[in-house]
Amino acid sequence: MSNARPPIEERFPRPSVMGVVNVTPDSFSDGGVHLQPAAAVAAAWRMLDEGAAIVDVGGESTRPGSEGVSVDEELRRVVPVLEGLHGAPVSIDTAKAEVVRRAVGLGAELVNDVTALRGDAAMAEVVADSGVYLCLMHMQGEPRTMQLNPTYDDVASEVAAFLGERLRFAVDSGIPEQRICLDPGIGFGKTVEQNFELVRRLDVLVALGRPVVVGFSRKSSLGRVLGDPTARTGPLAASIAAAVAAYERGATLLRVHDVRPHVEALTVAAAVIAE
Ligand code: HH2
- Does 62 contact ligand 1 (Cβ within 6 A)? yes
Ligand 1, residue 58: give the atom nearest the CA: 22
Q: What is the pTM for the complete model shown?
A: 0.96
Amino acid at 77: R
Chunk the chain into consecutive blocks of 10 residues (it has 275) and report each block's average pLDDT, rounded to whole numbers: 81 98 79 82 98 97 86 96 97 98 98 97 98 97 87 97 98 98 97 97 98 97 93 94 98 98 98 88
Atom of ligand 1 nearest to the CA of 27: 21
Residue 114 Cβ inside 6 Å of ligand 1? The answer reads yes
* Number of CB atoms found within 10 A of residue 149's CB: 10
Indicate which residues carry an active-site annotation: 219, 255
Q: What pLDDT, on a 0 to 100 scale, did the predictor assign at position 34?
A: 73
- With a 6 Å cutoff on the Cβ, whether 159 touches ligand 1 is no
